[in-house]
Structure 1
Amino acid sequence: MIKKLTAHGNSAALIIDKAILELLNITMDTPLKITTDGKNLIISPMSDNDRGERFQQALNKVNAKHAATLKRLAE
């Protein structure tokens, strides 16, 4: 299947056919992970495991940056 990008405001959009969305169990609410290998664009539905890992990374970053403040608030 060959697709072209569609103008969407100042951005570009890729229209994904309903059959592909259904095959991958993607809805309008599904978070999508967009990566590249340097030559290809890779779009994947995020698994719950991916979301949990990203949440943990964000939590670790906040804890590292604000550890002293969070400790004082806990007292």
Structure 2
Amino acid sequence: MIKTLTKHGNSSALVIERPILELLGATPETSFEVVTDGRALVLIPILDESQTAKFRKTMESIGKRYRKSFEELAKR
């Protein structure tokens, strides 16, 4: 799916359709954690704080474990 940003005051907004929100178990009131590696954007619905903490810890572990590999891939 390709999306475009929508002007929202001095900012830009990304509209997420209802079927995608339902797939994520989210509602328009759900908070999302925004994670980026500088090239990609990941939106994580905050449904359970313990899951979010576990995800963040796992991502940090992966980053440390595969740091050299990621650096090599970034050079290409």
Work out the CA distance in 1 between the residues paired with 2:29 and 2:6: 21
Question: What does residue range 1-75 of structure 1 map to in structure 2 within 5 Å?
Answer: 1-46=1-46, 47-49=48-50, 50=52
- Alpha-carbon offset, residue 36 of structure 1: 0.2
Q: Which structure 1 segments of 5+ residues have no match?
A: 52-75
- Tell me the TM-score normalised to structure 1 length: 0.61
Aligned-partner Cα distance in 2 for 1:8–1:38: 22
Aligned residues: 51
Could you list the structure 1 runs, at least 4 aligned residues long, displaced by more than 3 angstroms after superposition: none
Whole-angstrom distance in 2 between the partners of 1:17 and 1:23: 10
Aligned-residue Cα RMSD (Å) equals 1.4
CA distance in 2, matches of 1:41, 1:48: 20
Tell me the distance in 2 between the aligned counterparts of 1:28 and 1:37: 25
Identity of aligned residues (%): 47
The structure number with the bigger radius of gyration is 1
Mind listing any 5+ residue stretches in structure 2 that lack a counterpart?
54-76
1:48 shift after superposition: 2.3
In structure 2, the partner of 1:66 is none
Query: 1: distance between equivalents of 2:4 and 2:10?
Result: 16
